[in-house]
Amino acid sequence: MASADTWRVGDGAGGAFQPYLDSLRQELQQRDPTLLSVAVAVLAVLLTLVFWKFIWSRKSSQRAVLFVGLCDSGKTLLFVRSWTTFLKMEPATSDCTLLYQVAIKKMTPLTCPQANLMRLLSDDCSRSKDPHRPLPDWTPDLNSLPCPHHLGGNSLTLIDLPGHESLRLQFLDRFKSSARAVVFVVDSATFQREVKDVAEFLYQVLIDSMGLKKTPSFLIACNKQDIAMAKSAKLIQQQLEKELNTLRVTRSAAPSTLDSSSTAPAQLGKKGKEFEFSQLPLKVEFLECSAKGGRGDAGMADIQDLEKWLAKIA
């Protein structure tokens, strides 16, 4: 066996510390073995702290809840209602919270970074007049944003992505890696005539979500239940499963992509079986809600189930 004296850290900058390491090793060997045990214990504690810090930083980096859906699905109002309901429950405790409350009501640029972020992404299809306007060339660091949505001691950052077809996939690609959860909002009143468009977008969102290292929680919010002709969540689920099954067959028959770097699954569900959401590796939940409530914009929103779901995944 090679002598301990032959061990070296390395040449260059590392070798410069070799005399100090040799001196420390000899000192530990000459002293009581208890000192060596204490040093090892301290080192183990430090390594444990570093490990937990790494795990926590990865967890905290995925605290975004993405609100996605087609134009006019009501996702932006649902997004705003989620925030305003929370702000009514707890008094604002910081200037940033106050600024953000103004921002989501008036949609005006403010100095608070999160308000600017929400101003940028809160989209009610007003950009549809100029959908080809260049996107910002930056991606906000979600960990640096103040004013998170606090739930049960944890926090979530709610982000409303644009619904216009020329923008939604670009923003989804930009923020999906930070998603702890996805809220896919469906217009229950117009679902029957928009089912194909809804299914196509949902297909892409599911594929992207399944391609992530950590799959997010997934909720399909059947909005506008206050309208008499609104479809129930159960019926929407059944029709989406049928439409996604058709899309799966169509996509699998198409030529495969030339991009071999893609790690996303080729199709949804199990081969040889009719598609069901229960076949997916991520849990997809459905709930009924109404961002307007029974009295329109002035009434109380019926989003209690959504608030409970957010608290559960926080």
State the residue for tokens 């109002």: 77
> CA dihedral defined by 162, 168, 174, 180, rounded to 10 degrees?
70
What is the pTM (predicted TM-score) of this model? Answer: 0.65
| pLDDT of amino acid 28 | 62
Q: How far apart are CA 82 and CA 75, in angstroms?
A: 10
Quick one: pLDDT at residue 29?
Answer: 64
217: closest CA among 137, 130, 128, 310?
Answer: 310
Cα 116 to Cα 236: distance, rounded to the nearest angstrom: 35
| Distance (Å, whole) CA 93 – CA 177 | 30
**Predicted confidence (pLDDT) per residue in 20-75, tens digit:** 667 766 666 666 666 667 767 777 778 777 766 655 555 555 678 899 999 999 99
Can you give the three-state secondary structure of 200-238, one letter per residue?
A: HHHHHHHHHHHCCCCCCEEEEEEECCCCCCCCCHHHHHH
Domain boundaries, the chain: 60-89+154-241+281-313
pLDDT in the model for residue 255: 63
Instruction: Determine how many CB atoms are found less than 10 A away from the CB of residue 110.
Output: 17
Please say if the pLDDT value at position 88 is more than 80.
no
| Domain 60-89+154-241+281-313, CATH class in plain words | alpha beta
Which DSSP letter does residue 269 get? Answer: S
- For residue 257, pLDDT beyond 60: no
CA distance 47 to 5: 26
Strands 149-151 and 217-223: unpaired
Cβ neighbours of residue 33 closer than 8 Å, sequence gap 6 or more: none
Which of 210, 185, 180, 207 is CA-nearest to residue 74?
185
- Model pLDDT for residues 180-189, shown as the tens digit of each residue: 999 999 999 9
For helices 75-89 and 304-313, the axis angle rounded to 10 degrees is 80
181 three-state secondary structure: strand
Query: What are the distances in angstroms from CA 153 to CA 79, 92, 311?
Result: 21, 16, 10
Q: Which of 96-100, 122-126, 161-165, 181-185 has the highest mean pLDDT?
A: 181-185
